[in-house]
Structure 1
Amino acid sequence: MRVVMAVLLLLAVTACGLRPASSFVPPVEPGSIRPIPALEGTTVRVTSKEFTEQLVLGKIAVLALTAAGADVIDQTNVQGSVNARASLTRGDADLMWEYTGTGWVTYLGQSKPIPDPTQQYDAVRDLDLRENGIVWLPPAPLNNSYTIGVTRATAEKYGLKTMSDMTKIPVGQRTYCVDHETFGRDDGFLGMLKGYGLQYGKDVPAGNVKRVSVGVLYNSVASGQCAMAMVTTTDGRVKALDLVLLEDDRHFFPQYNAAVTMRRQLADAHPEIAKLFAPISAKLTDDVIRELNAKVDVDGGVPVLVARDWLRSQGFVK
């Protein structure tokens, strides 16, 4: 109970918009990441979206590039996927972590996800380079996918195991909490309802859907403000709040493996960046990123310090 109360308090603070300054970067010394002479004097502008996992990944990129000798400009913490991505395609930023499914569906407008993670990566890598000049480095194992999360009590009450089981909840009690951005995306809430044969406005009345910020989403379902919430599988609050994740038995959601993306000009000029991130990406599994996310959202850690401590623990920096 103490853990849950601490999480709820932290989420209330986060919902008020209190976040550490994005420009703060602690000093690091090279570890297994050695200074790369070709990066000396090279300016790299790193961006990210505003949610916890993206902040942690963005700070990992900032610190790794700094340790390698680049002149890094920290532009992390951009509101919204589309805005962060646009900064890259416009040339206002050079590098960011992105997710294969988001790239494929949201940015490249593809309606059919590819279930195999390798084939999904290959497809988004090739099309994004051809159409937008964006280079995708090999992805991390972590797959930050969506699913429906419920409390353990709700799962037991209605016998919920898969997302198809959502229909076991009577229409009147079939309530959802959804974050603002995810609500209308093709790979988001409305798309998911359609994929599971549910009509918005009928099977799921509009009044049954509460749109909230990501900061209060998990608190909302845990506290009973809605029966179900559209959550991400690698969020650290899932375990802290003892939420049950329903299986995507119709395989609606794409693979969302995280990968470093960058402008072709930077990739061509500095191929050594791919070698820099390869061992880092390889260590970022679902369990690892879930733990790092929890250090921020549950324990109250600062994303850049969480990123630095992890890089230190793996010997990448000192």
Structure 2
Amino acid sequence: MKVGKWLCCLVIGLLLAGCGLESGSAVPLRVGPGSIRPVPELKGVTITVGSKDFTEQNILGYLIEFAMSAAGANVRDLTNIQGSNSLRDAQLHGQIDVAYDYTGTGWVNYLGKEQPVPDEVGQFEALRDADLAAHDMAWTVMAPMNNTYALVTSKRTAEETGVATLSDYAALIAKDPSAAATCVGTEFNVRPDGYPGMAAKYGIDTGKVSKQIVQDALVYQATADAKQCRFGSVAATDGRIPALGLVLLTDDRSFFPKYNAALVMRDDFHRAHPQVAALMTPITKLLTNPVITELNRKVDVDGQEPADVARDWMIEQGFVTKG
């Protein structure tokens, strides 16, 4: 191994170890078999599950953990890792065996592609083939849920302005910029797949936009109140959207990349344990936008714990029983 590559691996290994990513911890809640029965090939196999550090990702990580636990695997919990790149590095270097990630993140962030594929299935298939060839990473099954960027407004503002699509929003800015005051998150404000790219796609004169840059978490309430801003940037599956009565604007020119959640693992792990993807397929297929939005709402609005929400849903669907 070349010295530069060796040093890079050493640094990444030390960083992961410093973050407590060497072995993980025990699954926070117990489950028993439901429709997921013990799988002889997975009995005693150590499977480390990871996720990023936000509500939806933690829920998705726990879904994997409970499914693998019911199947008889020795599951280790490495959820709540800070940032996409850290999760990706942990997977590439073997600290994490399986996780849900997003097709748009894989295509744009990990593979460095500038142009997303507009079709959800096409985006998944292009990412699956390219990441396997370049990095031996296996994207195995995609969920219907699409946690893409979006703009929202309150029902009252939608009724007053008649804005239902991003084309309507662009027309309102051209006609009366003050009527389209917009709150945007810091990252959305600068990302090419955020406001700059959206403005270019829809012919928005950014010099006319009445725009405020705020923390992502503050956008939801500020838009619902319609005092500070009448429109706001959000993640499309956030539970605060229905809880606050916000309305998603239709991306009628299909600008925003698709961010479908998909199960990803190293190809050697996938080939050694094909049962993992097989067990997760029926679970993944049920993860629609309404389903994951409601699960997110229970955490972000009702204050429940992500592990409790994930296990309760798995029990409701019959996949597992309470341990």
TM interval, shorter chain, is 0.7 to 0.9
* Counterparts in 2 of 1:211 and 1:78: CA distance versus 1, 3 Å: farther
Corresponding position of 1:97: 100
The aligned runs of 1:158-173 (5 Å cut-off) are 158-167=161-170, 168-169=172-173, 170-172=176-178
Corresponding position of 2:126: 123
The aligned runs of 1:24-39 (5 Å cut-off) are 25-39=28-42
Corresponding position of 1:42: 45
Corresponding position of 2:199: 193
Corresponding position of 1:175: 181
> What's the TM-score, normalizing by structure 1?
0.85
Alpha-carbon deviations, 1:62-111, whole Å to 9, x = none? 11112112222211112222332232223332211112222222222222
Amino acid across the alignment from 2:193: D
Offset at residue 235 of structure 1 (A): 1.9
The aligned runs of 1:1-318 (5 Å cut-off) are 25-167=28-170, 168-169=172-173, 170-172=176-178, 174-200=180-206, 202-204=207-209, 208-213=211-216, 215-224=217-226, 225-318=228-321
* Counterparts in 2 of 1:40 and 1:180: CA distance versus 1, 3 Å: farther
Aligned equivalents of 1:261 and 1:216: distance in 2? 31
Aligned equivalents of 1:145 and 1:121: distance in 2? 14
Aligned equivalents of 1:125 and 1:49: distance in 2? 20
Offset at residue 131 of structure 1 (A): 1.1
Q: Any conservation in 2 of the 1:44–1:73 contact (CA below 8 Å)? A: yes
> What's the TM-score, normalizing by structure 2?
0.84
3-state SS of the aligned residue for 1:137? strand
> How many residues matched?
293
Alpha-carbon deviations, 1:233-279, whole Å to 9, x = none? 22221111111111101110122221111112211211111111111
Amino acid across the alignment from 2:192: D
Higher strand share: 2
3-state SS of the aligned residue for 1:280? helix
Offset at residue 161 of structure 1 (A): 1.2
Amino acid across the alignment from 1:262: M
Larger RCO (CA under 8 A, 6+ residues apart): 1
Alpha-carbon deviations, 1:39-79, whole Å to 9, x = none? 23322221112222111111111111121122222111122
Alpha-carbon deviations, 1:126-173, whole Å to 9, x = none? 011111211111211222222110112222232211112223043345
Amino acid across the alignment from 1:204: V
Percentage identity across paired residues of the two chains: 47
Amino acid across the alignment from 1:176: T
3-state SS of the aligned residue for 2:118? coil
RMSD value, Cα: 2.0
Runs of 4+ in 1 over 4 A off after TM superposition: none
Offset at residue 23 of structure 1 (A): 6.3
Aligned equivalents of 2:64 and 2:242: distance in 1? 26
Aligned equivalents of 2:74 and 2:149: distance in 1? 35
Stretches of structure 1 lacking an aligned partner (at least 5 in a row): 1-21
* Counterparts in 2 of 1:194 and 1:82: CA distance versus 1, 3 Å: farther
